[in-house]
Amino acid sequence: MGDIPALPRAQWLWTQKSGSSERECEDAAYCWQSDEAGVDSAGRAVASLYASVSDGASESLLARDWAMLLTADAVESMRLAGDWWEELGTFVRDLMERAALHWDAFLARYQAERAAQGRPIAWYEQPGLEKGAFATVLGAEIRATVLEDGTTRWSWHAFALGDTCLFQLRDGRLLDSFPVRTVEEFGITPQLLGSRNHDARLVAERLRVAHGELMEGDELLLATDALAAWLLTPGEGGGSAALPAFGAFDRQDFAEWVDDQRGRARMRNDDVTLVRARV
């Protein structure tokens, strides 16, 4: 059996909307990489990089905290389920039970901290807490699989609820996008996962799943909706042909580039998050 080559490293870049502080950014991302090979359902050696991105809905209370919790739980559920896409209902139920448990624990800490600070939950905040927080969620796995002849096959598997998107690029050209394929598909009411939603069957029905094969040099981009819409906008100033060399960016470079695109009216003023990996 051949050795699995080194997994790609995930690059995480983000910036808050113009006029907001870093603490007010309601996007979140989480990445995790396996340290050793596992085994897939066919008994082949595999190693994986997991990533998740979420966009908290500003209209809901504690959306930032829900998005942060959701991304970590999405990665954990993918990691523990193995070939998670083969039993989607089981995977969704595990994710929702995990997230609900963590959300209840977070709310208990949040309310205790507020009370200790002399700022107990006000009467007008209670309806928001009872309604819960909402966010989009996109999870992706980049997998290296050792085949019988000793060669390695690279692939990606992803799930999505809402308009946070995955893009596959090859030689700088957009090869695939998921779950949104055209800029016209972006709307004002994307599908969202609520912290109080316990209907796993309904969520499984609404969840979108996709996969693709990767070649050496391919890039995967996971992006929240403002950047995703920019990537799908054809013409001057947008689209994959206008992508900068993100690999050389730090977070300050990314923030300056996003501000420039906003100033040119090419990108909507919103929180922007990008997770990037190159095979």
- Tell me the pLDDT of the chain averaged across its residues: 92
Of 122-126, 138-142, 183-187, 239-243, where does the model show the most confidence?
Answer: 138-142
pTM for the model stands at 0.93
Which two three-digit tokens encode residue 29? 């991302």
* pLDDT score recorded for residue 113: 94
CA gap 173, 57 in Å, rounded: 31
2 pLDDT higher than 70: no
Can you tell me the mean pLDDT for 132-152? 92
User: What pLDDT, on the 0 to 100 scale, is given for residue 237?
Assistant: 62
> What pLDDT was estimated at residue 184?
87
- DSSP-assigned letter for residue 61: T
What local confidence, expressed as pLDDT, does residue 190 receive?
84
Q: What is the pLDDT of residues 190-212, one digit of tens each?
A: 899 999 988 999 999 999 999 99
Q: Would you place residue 236 in the very low, low, confident or very high pLDDT band (cuts 50, 70, 90)?
A: low
On the question of pLDDT at 222 being above 90, the answer is yes
pLDDT tens digits, residue range 13-59?
999 999 999 999 999 999 999 877 888 888 888 899 999 999 999 88
Digit-coded pLDDT (tens) for 59-95:
899 999 999 999 999 999 999 998 999 999 999 999 9
pLDDT at res. 94: 97
Tokens for 126?
């209670």
DSSP-derived secondary structure for 128-184: HHHH--EE-EEEEEEEEEE-TTS-EEEEEEEEEESS-EEEEEETTEEEEEES--SGG
- Provide the H-helix boundaries in the chain: 63-81, 88-116, 126-131, 200-206, 225-231, 251-263
* Residue 238 binned pLDDT confidence (cut-offs 50, 70, 90): low
- Burial class of residue 225, CB neighbours in 10 A (0-12, 13-18, 19+): buried
Domains of the chain, start order: 11-278 (3.60.40.10)
**pLDDT score at 40:** 85
Please report which confidence band the pLDDT of residue 150 belongs to, taking 50, 70 and 90 as the band edges: confident
Per-residue confidence (pLDDT) for residue 87, from 0 to 100: 94
pLDDT for the residue 39: 84
User: Can you give the pLDDT at residue 240?
Assistant: 72
In angstroms, rounded to a whole number, what is the distance separating the alpha carbons of residues 65 and 28? 9
